[in-house]
Each structure stands twice: as C-alpha cells, then as structure tokens.
Amino acid sequence: MEATPRLKAGIFVRALTRRAEVAGASAYVVRMGSEEAGALILKVARLDGTVLVLNQARDGKGALVWAQPLGGWADERRAADWCDKQVKFDPDVWIVEIEDRQGRAFVDEPIV
C-alpha cells in the first residue's frame, strides 16, 4: 500500500493561508516549522472563545485526513496547552491559526 505523496509543509501552509484570506477569513502562521516536512497543526478560531484543533494524520489506506485530537471544539486555553505539548514533542511542527466566524478549516481532505 503506497501513501499519497506529501506536499512540502511550507508550500501547503502558504496555499492554505491564501485560500483562507481569499474567502474572507484571516490566517496566521503562529509557529514556523520545517519547510520540507514539518507536521502541521491547524487552530480554527470562531472568535467566540472556541477553537477547533486539527492535525494531519493518515487513514488506514494512507490517505491524508485531519484528526481532531481534542474531540471537537474546545476552549482556547485547552487548545494552546495541547499545541505547546506538541511543540515540545516535535520542534519542526507548524501551527497555523485561522480566524473565521463560520469555523471553516479550508482543507480539502476529510476531517475525522
């Protein structure tokens, strides 16, 4: 079983932030990771104190999906604590925050 090739992290982040901005949302690189292959965490903020944290994962067939490590929408403090732990574990991780009142993530892959 062969996994789908992965786009370089830096290119993916730039495309994602552009997609969000074109749609009227704001996107910020909160933490810059490895340009080539850093993991990616998205924080989608609805600007009401809640955040959806998403991280890249692979499904059983090797396809890219977005997992919800906190089980859905969480408060900002819990999201920040989780992200801080991930940075300690993987210093190459990227963190992108999208501010969108509708809670859109602007990713094509499934959110599981």
Structural domain boundaries of the chain?
Answer: 9-99
| Neighbouring-strand partners of residue 97 | 28, 43
Q: Domain 9-99: state its class.
A: alpha beta
Q: Name the pTM for this structure.
A: 0.89
Q: What is the DSSP string of the chain?
A: --PPPPPPHHHHHHHHHHHHHHTT-EEEEEE---TTT--EEEEEE-SSSEEEEEEEEE-TTS-EEEE-TTSSEEEHHHHHHHHHHHHHH-TT-EEEEEE-TT-----SSPB-
pLDDT tens-digit map of 7-58: 788 899 999 999 999 999 999 999 998 887 788 999 999 999 999 999 999 8
pLDDT of 35 reads 84
pLDDT of 1 reads 44
pLDDT tens-digit map of 77-95: 999 999 999 999 999 999 9
